[in-house]
Structure 1
Amino acid sequence: MRGSSQRERPRPAARVITFGAVVRHGGRWIPVIGLAALVDSLVVLALPFVFGRTVDAIVTGGDVGRWLLVAMGLIVVGIVSDLVDTFADAACVAGTTAWLRNRLIRQVLAIGPAAGRRFTTGDLVSRVSGNAVDAAQAGPSVVTVGAAALPPVGSLALLAYIDVWLAAAFLGGVSLVGLVLLAFTRRTAEAALAYQETQARIAGRLTESLSGIRTIAAAGTVGREEDRVLEPLPDLHDHGARAWRVLARSSAQSAVVGPIVLVAVLAAGGLQVVDGRITAGELFAASQYAVLGAGLGGLTGVFAEFARARAGVARAAEVFAVPPLRYGRMHLPPGPGRLEFCGVTVRGEESPLLDGVDLVVPGGVAVAVVGHSGAGKSVLAALAARLRDPDEGQVLLDGVPLHEVDHDSLRAAVGCAFERPELVGATTGDAIGLGLERDLVEAAAHATHAYEFVSRLPDGFDTPLHDAPMSGGERQRIGLARAWHAGRLLVLDDATSSLDTVTELQISRTLTSDEGRRTRLIVTHRAATAARADLVVWLEQGRVRAFGPHAQLSGDPAYREVFG
């Protein structure tokens, strides 16, 4: 029966994010920051004019007090605008960071296992934590960079109002400063992106080491592992040094160009004072406007923040560029769990992982999947569980393509257990069946022989996971119990490899004598498990070499070699 799902699933995260989208998310804070920056720039532009009038009043005996009061008022307004800008900037960055992290996490979860194939865990953590903060600076940095253009433009206009020759001298010097800042921004963005990428490489390697810390300690390879994790450190140093060199070069260039602006304006202004074309106060104001132009070189920090924001957005955009696993709107019709692979191909980096696989697994049977390492067993299992999609062909469950099945319907029908299960949830019971009734959780634990050790924990199924140390075999039993709720297809990817012989035999018997109520696809390296299965799929170099009962296949010496 085909139809739409009864309730709408949340839509997957957007597949693209841009610098402009991050800026726009600043919402109401961006105008506030812009207004505060505008007011501050106007105050900066007005003060030299007011001080110039004050100087003229002193020289001519005018009303000095009035101009001093105006100057004090402007200073108070400038202080208030700075406080508003600081608060709005912090609020904007905090809100945008939270929004961006939320979207990144949702996107990573929507991508599913494909995220692990594209990015390392440490790299993803680096993007969600550090790079998201850098990217969130996009809105304030754009406003700040835009506001930085107002003082020199206003200074040019006011200098032209005082005297056109002052404006000409100012314009020539400021143009050089602008070129310096443009070159600085471009080079800093490149260095910042390279630095962030290298940081992510180190974080990824450290995450790998922490997950295998006991193995490293037991093997006595701590020193070599330290060298491996820190191997990119010289690159990190080089990228950091490159950024500092860009900053130093730009600062030096600004330090040379800035005084040229001031000297040019003062020289032109001095000549105009001698000729009587401008007053002493106007010369003072002109010198302050020249200082504003010369001070553009001090904005390298502002442009560096802008460059880091661009690099952070670029890193986030790479995650959003990976298409998420999308689900359809169909329910599965009644059926025994018949599984079909139709012309399925999955490409690897160098060669196909599966190559044109055509296979029909009857419903309700136990099927063992065997083959040498690299034959494609885990890929076949991932396709059956729809943890990934094939590059060509399609996989059907009871006649319905898996990619067309509604999320809830598919996940209720299909369960997966893995060789190294990651247990999630607050308690041991949550790890087996978060949100399920306790009797269902206990039934799954009994079926997979996890009940024996869970019942001995201090609080049984309510024991916090961090207070429930488990062996590899016990973790596998919890993983099996979590998958046991599947109603139609149970996919086990070497999920009993860490069990002791007796427990493995007990669970294997349970799996292979499941009263035909669901299909079981069991990736295994053990001949005994294959022998108890109804059928065996023998994979070799991504193709199905044979499909049939174990007893029939075992006459082939090459088949027996698969089990060592």
Structure 2
Amino acid sequence: MPDPVPDPSRERETRKHGDRLLVSLARGPRAPLAVVAAASLASSAAVLVLPAVLASAVDEALTGREPRTATVCLILVLALTACAEIAGMLAGAAATASATSSLRVRLTAHLLSLDIAETRRSPTGELVNRLVGNTATAGRVPVTLVGIATGLVTSVGGVVALFVIDWRVGLTFVAGAPAAVALIRVFVERVSDLYDDYQGAQGRLAARLTDALAGIRTVRASGSADREITRILAPLPELSGSGHALWRAQARSVWKIALLLPLIEVAVLGAAGLGVADGRLEPGQLLAAAGYTALGLSFVDQTDALMALAHSRSAARRICEVLGLPVPSAGTRPPPEGPGALSFRGVTVVRENTAPVEDVDLEVPAGSLTAVVGRSGAGKSTLALLAGRLTDPDRGEVLLDGRPLREIDPDALRAAVAYAFERPVLLGGDLAEAVSYGLPAVDREAVREAARAAHVDDVIGRLPEGYGTPADAAPLSGGELQRLGLARALVRRARLTVLDDATSGLDTATEAQVTRTLLEGMRGRTRLVVAHRVATAARADLVVWMEDGRIRARGTHRGLWRDPDYRALFAAAGEASPQDQEDPCPARP
């Protein structure tokens, strides 16, 4: 996801949303968190009792008594501590897994609900980094917060115990503690900003690597691996700089804290030692004061937890940047009864200061085969995406049988509009599931019928496992994949079928067979076909000629062929020669 221009108000808002997200996670898995909290409190109580038990044992030994009671208490305290820590670890792992899982489900659902144009603007590697890495970091927050809370309870308990031993000892501790608190606060604030920079650079590196892997054939064929390595690793100096800055910030704070804590401990022990010398305190209480001083300073041990919290806040902000992307509003109405008439009324789409589709008014007759032609970048694919609401117009309206697509329930719309794409991706367990993807109730015979109509049944039949071949391991060519994608559209038997250059990889003979299916096998259903070949346009009921996002002309192929610019569209692709231009159109069946 490209980094936006810094906007202080937007960054503050994102921070707020990130903190709210972490709070919502902390309210999540209550049962395991309750176990974690109970185990942590039990461990904290045991730790607070331990110095008193040791002091009692020392006093009994110095007075010549057998320290049996103190020994038994010590064993029980240690056993309780061990059991509490084991229970806390197990419950903590369950709570973290649950929080991470719920966050990933929420983020995945949001990503799949985005406008197609929005997902295209977000590099895949960056999204994967946020979905996998950042969610795992944020998912640890509930357990981290419980740990911080119980750590503070332990620290406060240690300070109270010092006052119980002797108020002078307690005041000595309190006099030195604020300096340590100030050091930790400055450190955590600094680290939080550095984590943002580090994770941003990490995400950009992941995005570049994913892009390179997606185009690995081009990289290998062009011999540009060295150049790609340089491009992929371009964010590495920034990543290294942020990492070193983290280490420097930690080093500057650690030596200050390491110098301050012994001074506080020495001061407290000095005050307690004076109390022993004056007879106010027993020797065992001096030992207890040492133990409770360490417990009182245990808030310093929360530095790691606070660093983890800062890391999680940074991760949560990155997740909220994705969750903040607008999701198209879902309609609630069913599509009206109708034959599949499609209307574009004043439709304009704006993408990054350009308009791939601008002021388009178009009526696609019900039951017709309409071909959309034009040069690359003319807006054909955007028009195809608009037809089934895979993207929304910025202005204007798209209607199916007179009802705006925005008003139609998404599930009902998916049943009414089917798609086939230039580069289909096979989703599902095996090839049968890939063809019936999204239609679990479709039986195997319907799948085979659609495959036969797309002229790919014989290809699947030659595979050792046939329709049971794993979709991600099927050895299929680009044209065979396109035919499977077409079968996936045909099996839906939708009132409107949109083919976005879905036959470009087919040879001439196979394309003729597929075209016959479009003409005869789908007669009565509306077909919107993005076409680059003259044969498809020649057999269409209506041809829409797009140029620079607008409709330049519409009509029959025979009528448009009189325009030399129209003929040049196909001549440039080798679809027609000057000798063919007199009468290129065979009789339509």
Say how many residue pairs are matched: 550
Tell me by how many angstroms 1:512 deviates. 4.2
Amino acid at match of 1:524: A
Give me the whole-angstrom Cα distance separating, in 2, the residues matched to 1:467 and 1:515.
Answer: 31
Give me the whole-angstrom Cα distance separating, in 2, the residues matched to 1:189 and 1:26.
Answer: 26
TM-score scaled by structure 1?
A: 0.91
Structure 2 residue aligned with 1:12: none
Q: Is the deviation greater in 192-201 or in 76-85?
A: 192-201
Q: Secondary structure at the match of 1:159?
A: helix
Q: Say which of 520, 523, 546 aligns to 2:530.
A: 523
Amino acid at match of 2:204: R
Structure 1 residue aligned with 2:484: 478
Give me the whole-angstrom Cα distance separating, in 2, the residues matched to 1:486 and 1:119.
Answer: 33
Matched, 1:67 2:70: yes
Q: Is the deviation greater in 76-85 or in 267-276?
A: 267-276
Q: Say which of 404, 408, 433 aligns to 2:407.
A: 404
Contact 1:152–1:293, Cα closer than 8 Å, also in 2: yes
Tell me by how many angstroms 1:414 deviates. 1.0
Q: Secondary structure at the match of 1:490?
A: strand
Q: Say which of 212, 215, 219 aligns to 1:216.
A: 219
Structure 2 residue aligned with 1:269: 272
Q: Secondary structure at the match of 1:329?
A: coil
Is the alpha carbon distance of 1:114 and 1:541 closer, same or farther for their aligned partners in structure 2, counting shifts above 3 Å? Answer: closer
Structure 2 residue aligned with 1:5: none
Amino acid at match of 2:352: E
Tell me by how many angstroms 1:535 deviates. 1.6
Amino acid at match of 2:89: T
Q: Say which of 485, 506, 517 aligns to 1:510.
A: 517
Structure 2 residue aligned with 1:138: 141
Q: Say which of 24, 31, 35 aligns to 1:32.
A: 35
Q: Is the deviation greater in 517-526 or in 427-436?
A: 427-436
Tell me by how many angstroms 1:234 deviates. 2.5
Identity of aligned residues (%): 43
Superimposed CA distance per residue, residues 109-132 of structure 1 (whole angstroms, 9 cap, x where no aligned partner): 233635622432222322232222
Give me the whole-angstrom Cα distance separating, in 2, the residues matched to 1:515 and 1:80.
Answer: 69
Tell me by how many angstroms 1:34 deviates. 1.4
Give me the whole-angstrom Cα distance separating, in 2, the residues matched to 1:496 and 1:190.
Answer: 51
Equivalent residues in 2 for 1:332-411, closer than 5 Å = 332-411=335-414
Equivalent residues in 2 for 1:66-465, closer than 5 Å = 66-111=69-114, 113-114=116-117, 116-434=119-437, 435=440, 436-465=442-471
Q: Secondary structure at the match of 1:18?
A: helix
Q: Secondary structure at the match of 1:360?
A: strand
Amino acid at match of 2:366: G
Give me the whole-angstrom Cα distance separating, in 2, the residues matched to 1:438 and 1:113.
Answer: 31
Give me the whole-angstrom Cα distance separating, in 1, the residues matched to 2:293 and 2:412.
Answer: 70
Is the alpha carbon distance of 1:499 and 1:297 closer, same or farther for their aligned partners in structure 2, counting shifts above 3 Å? Answer: same
Structure 2 residue aligned with 1:536: 543
Superimposed CA distance per residue, residues 410-438 of structure 1 (whole angstroms, 9 cap, x where no aligned partner): 22221111111101122222222244223
Q: Secondary structure at the match of 1:417?
A: strand
Structure 2 residue aligned with 1:6: none
Q: Secondary structure at the match of 1:333?
A: coil
Amino acid at match of 1:75: L
Ranges of 4+ aligned residues in structure 1 off by more than 6 Å: none
Contact 2:426–2:472, Cα closer than 8 Å, also in 1: no
Tell me by how many angstroms 1:245 deviates. 2.4
Amino acid at match of 2:381: S
Tell me by how many angstroms 1:82 deviates. 1.2
Tell me by how many angstroms 1:155 deviates. 1.9
Equivalent residues in 2 for 1:479-498, closer than 5 Å = 479-484=485-490, 485-498=492-505
Q: Say which of 479, 484, 508 aligns to 1:501.
A: 508
- Structure with greater contact order relative to length (CA < 8 Å, sep ≥ 6): 1
TM-score scaled by structure 2?
A: 0.87
Contact 2:531–2:537, Cα closer than 8 Å, also in 1: yes
Superimposed CA distance per residue, residues 116-160 of structure 1 (whole angstroms, 9 cap, x where no aligned partner): 224322223222322222111011001111112122212221212
Q: Secondary structure at the match of 1:154?
A: helix
Q: Is the deviation greater in 131-140 or in 238-247?
A: 238-247
Contact 1:259–1:294, Cα closer than 8 Å, also in 2: no
Contact 2:453–2:521, Cα closer than 8 Å, also in 1: no
Structure 1 residue aligned with 2:557: 550
Tell me by how many angstroms 1:89 deviates. 0.8
State the Cα RMSD in Å. 2.4
Contact 2:418–2:496, Cα closer than 8 Å, also in 1: yes
Structure 2 residue aligned with 1:10: none
Contact 2:111–2:119, Cα closer than 8 Å, also in 1: no
Superimposed CA distance per residue, residues 444-474 of structure 1 (whole angstroms, 9 cap, x where no aligned partner): 2222222232222223323332442111111
